[in-house]
Amino acid sequence: MLKLTEIWHFHRPALAKVYLDTLNAGLVTSTTIFAPRRAGKTSFLLKDLWPAAEKAGYTVAYADLWQTRLSPGLAIVRALEQAQEPKGPLRGLMAKARVPVRKIKGKAEVAGAKLEGEVELGEGGSKAQSETALQIDVLIESLCRKAPLLLLIDEAQELARTREHEAVATALRTAITKNQERLRVLFTGSSRTKLAHVFSNASAPLYSTGAAIADFPQLGRDFVEYIAQRYEESTRRTLPVAPAWKAFVAFHQQPEPFLVGVVQMVLNPRLALEEAMAAVADNLARTENHEGVWAGFDALQKALVKLLVDDPALKPFSKPVLLKLRGAVGVESLAATHVQRAMQKLSGVVVKSPRDTYEFENEAFAEWVRTLADG
């Protein structure tokens, strides 16, 4: 029986094949994709890449670190534990008998010490870091003995949150190195700055492991056309593609907020497209506290943000920009060092991209600045 959510999911089999081909080529054992939140990464992983990988012979384990930010190690252990569980009739029998897979025997090397024994799975945060590392190591090794393993780590930037989380990243790096013939890992992230702390900085726990951080391809007009077709089939009403595409672009081609608006139109036949999308944008601004973020900026930071939303290629330390900033702030003297300090304070909001342009960590905030901020 087809699930209702499947009817609305826009499948991307060609993109799934690209990632699998990259990992199967043997040049890299892992890769990392970046996209802002609500860009459809998770749906793609679960509904496109996962089934494609299973068809290709992989066992797949998926861990969402955004939902388990306080204990990423346990999230990864649980994902590997679930991948270890039998499928099909045997899985059903075990569920009825209430006999979950709880223990696994194996060997591992942690901090130079060889460990061997039986590991209890799925317990809470009282476990020592070394034991969590052992759990990850033993489970990955066990799974890789049975079949090639694809480990999907969603929102991997959470591995840089604390030193304890970095210890988990170190355990992952060890496991990737030891099992490189049978293990492939795909990381995702929604913050370039935080991903750099995990993969790109020389002192990062997974330095070079995630390979180059590649942008997740945006959905295009064919996605909007697909949703319009599903809308008509479900409601017997028309969703005009041209204005729907314009609304989708206004959300920076992020499917989640666009689909929220479409759902509201399904539920309320009298709701116009423009009204539905405006309501979604207003709700995003409130829930993400754009006004609060804006109020926390000083005059120079506000002036910089306004310039950056209009010109991502801005050279903030150039003489013409310094003159603009002096006028905007209302001061006679403004040095490049003042701008440098302001940019440093904006590091969690604006980041320099690999294309040598500035990007906002949250594009919804950038859009709010363009249309709503009044100084």
Alpha carbons 24 and 39: distance in angstroms, whole number: 25
| Contact status, residue 28 vs residue 22, Cβ threshold 8 Å | yes
- Give yes or no: residues 91 and 187 share one domain: yes
- Label residue 7 exposed, middle or buried (CB < 10 Å: 0-12, 13-18, 19+): exposed
Picking from 284, 296, 289, the residue whose alpha carbon sits closest to that of residue 364 is 284
- Give yes or no: residues 319 and 277 share one domain: no
Final residue of a structural domain among 287, 305, 328: 287
- Give yes or no: residues 134 and 254 share one domain: no
Alpha carbons 357 and 353: distance in angstroms, whole number: 5
- Give yes or no: residues 141 and 17 share one domain: yes
Final residue of a structural domain among 287, 305, 324: 287
**Mean pLDDT value of segment 343-369:** 82
- Give yes or no: residues 307 and 272 share one domain: no
Q: What angle do CA 174, 60, 109 make, to 5 degrees?
A: 20
pLDDT at 352: 80
Question: Is the pLDDT score of 185 beyond 90?
Answer: yes
pLDDT at 208: 65
pLDDT at 51: 96
Q: What is the pLDDT of residues 32-55, one digit of tens each?
A: 998 888 889 999 999 999 999 999
Q: Picking from 19-23, 140-144, 156-160, 339-343, which range would have the lowest pLDDT averaged per residue?
A: 156-160
Alpha carbons 86 and 90: distance in angstroms, whole number: 6
Structural domain containing residue 69? 4-215
**Mean pLDDT value of segment 216-245:** 95
- Give yes or no: residues 12 and 156 share one domain: yes
Picking from 43, 34, 14, the residue whose alpha carbon sits closest to that of residue 256 is 43
Number of structural domains, the chain?
3
| Contact status, residue 148 vs residue 182, Cβ threshold 8 Å | yes
Picking from 179, 181, 152, the residue whose alpha carbon sits closest to that of residue 49 is 152
Final residue of a structural domain among 287, 315, 336: 287
Q: What is the pLDDT of residues 248-283, one digit of tens each?
A: 999 989 999 999 999 999 999 999 999 999 999 888
Picking from 112, 109, 90, the residue whose alpha carbon sits closest to that of residue 99 is 90
Alpha carbons 212 and 216: distance in angstroms, whole number: 12
- Give yes or no: residues 31 and 84 share one domain: yes
Question: Is the pLDDT score of 29 beyond 80?
Answer: yes
From the centroid of its chain, how far is CA 102?
A: 29
- R_g of the chain computed on alpha carbons: 24
- Give yes or no: residues 280 and 303 share one domain: no
- Give yes or no: residues 329 and 357 share one domain: yes
Produce one character per residue of 25-44: b if its CB has 16 or more CB atoms within 10 Å, e if not. Answer: eeeebbbbbbbbbbbbbbbb
- Give yes or no: residues 102 and 225 share one domain: no
- Kindly give the residue spans of alpha helices, DSSP state H, lying in the chain: 4-8, 13-24, 41-44, 50-55, 72-84, 89-97, 129-146, 163-178, 192-195, 221-235, 241-250, 255-267, 273-287, 290-295, 299-310, 319-329, 336-345, 363-371
